[in-house]
């Protein structure tokens, strides 16, 4: 799995990197076919005192890209909410991949007398 963590108007500290890695563990535990992960952490200064922290993840899995973004006043809270969203989407995608169509017992035994 390739992992890229970058910051825009922000320096990615080792503590921040470690926090993102521990949160990503939960997602990779659910789904092990992750090819590439790109995390972008951004600080946007909107007004004099108002700052918005934004976290984005692009998760490349076999056959699909999953993109999630989340904004919050606190970057750690934004990362938490982002990973919750990402986890739900990965579980939903994994559920779609599994074959839920089983032959009914009536059809299996129809040929025998």
- Element containing residue 67 per DSSP (H, E): strand 64-72
Using one digit for the tens of pLDDT, what is the confidence trace for 56-106? 999 998 888 999 999 999 999 999 999 999 999 988 988 888 766 666 666
Maximum alpha-carbon separation in the chain:
82
> With bands split at pLDDT 50, 70 and 90, how would you rate the model's confidence at 15?
very high
Residue 35 pLDDT: 87
Please say whether the dihedral angle defined by the alpha carbons of residues 35, 20, 87 and 52, taken in this order, is positive or negative: negative
End-to-end alpha carbon distance in the chain: 53
Q: Please tell me the pTM assigned to this model.
A: 0.79
Q: Which CATH code for domain 1-12+32-79?
A: 3.30.160.100
The Cα–Cα gap between 41 and 9 comes to 9
Distance CA 113, CA 111 (A): 7
């Amino acid at each position: 799995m390739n992992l890229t963590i970058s910051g825009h108007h922000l320096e990615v500290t080792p503590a921040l990197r470690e926090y993102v890695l521990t949160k990503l563990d939960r997602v990779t535990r659910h789904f092990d076919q992750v090819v590439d992960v790109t995390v972008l952490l951004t600080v946007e200064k909107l007004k004099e005192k108002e700052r918005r922290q934004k976290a984005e993840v692009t998760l490349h899995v076999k056959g699909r890209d999953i993109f999630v973004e989340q904004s919050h006043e606190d970057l750690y809270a934004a990362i938490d909410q982002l990973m919750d969203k990402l986890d739900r989407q990965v579980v939903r995608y994994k559920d779609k991949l599994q074959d839920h169509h089983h032959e009914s017992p009536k059809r299996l035994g129809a040929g025998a007398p």
